Amino acid sequence: MDFGEILDRWERSQGKGQGDWRRGSQKKKDRKGSGKTPENSGGEISRLFSRWLETHEVHDKDAEDPAPRGQDSAAAKRRRLLARRPDAVIDLHGLSRDQAWTALENFFETSRQRGFVKLALIHGKGNHSQGEAVLKRTVREFIERCPFAGESGQGPAGGTGVTWVLLK
């Protein structure tokens, strides 16, 4: 018995006729006399499905424990960190390059002492800068040189005008 026949039986048990998808091929079978099947009750169809499930292994991915108890996988920790809101935010708008550098040094040191994990650095998009975005470049250079600055990127909130950083 193929899946199409099982589906036909189920439709008949529900009080529906055969599905449109089977009508063309069913007519050919009826002419041969091999396609007709007796009406079945819903109980028999349930037994057919149960028998199929017993013979075919069903794997429930949601029931699996991805990591040992009490431990998360590294990927799960990273996803949580990236989705986490920043612990502290600094807005560098209106500062010169040197002022921004000093502010970042103080901000990172204070954040590290307080045990913060994720920081947000608002530098703007550089719309009012002559040439390239000065503060954005300054923030990037600072992150590259800072010994306790880890992974960084530009978050969805603020777009390219905000950079987030994970502290090591």
Under DSSP, is residue 2 helix (H, G, I), strand (E, B) or coil? coil
Average pLDDT over residues 14-36: 52
CA distance 132 to 127: 9
**Does 3.40.710.10 match the CATH number of domain 75-167?**
no
User: Taking the domains of the chain in order of start, what are their residue ranges?
Assistant: 3-61, 75-167
**pTM greater than 0.75:** no
Is residue 116 over pLDDT 60? yes
Band (pLDDT 50/70/90 cuts) for residue 106 is very high
Q: How high is the pLDDT of residue 36?
A: 46
Is residue 17 over pLDDT 60? no
CB-based contacts of 135: which residues, under 8 Å, 6+ apart? Answer: 92, 93, 95, 97, 100, 123, 124, 126, 129
Band (pLDDT 50/70/90 cuts) for residue 42 is low
Q: How high is the pLDDT of residue 146?
A: 93
Average pLDDT over residues 89-113: 93
Band (pLDDT 50/70/90 cuts) for residue 35 is very low
CA distance 160 to 123: 9
Q: Which residues of 46-71 are buried (b: 16+ CB within 10 A; e: fewer)?
A: eebeeeeeeeeeeeeeeeeeeeeeee
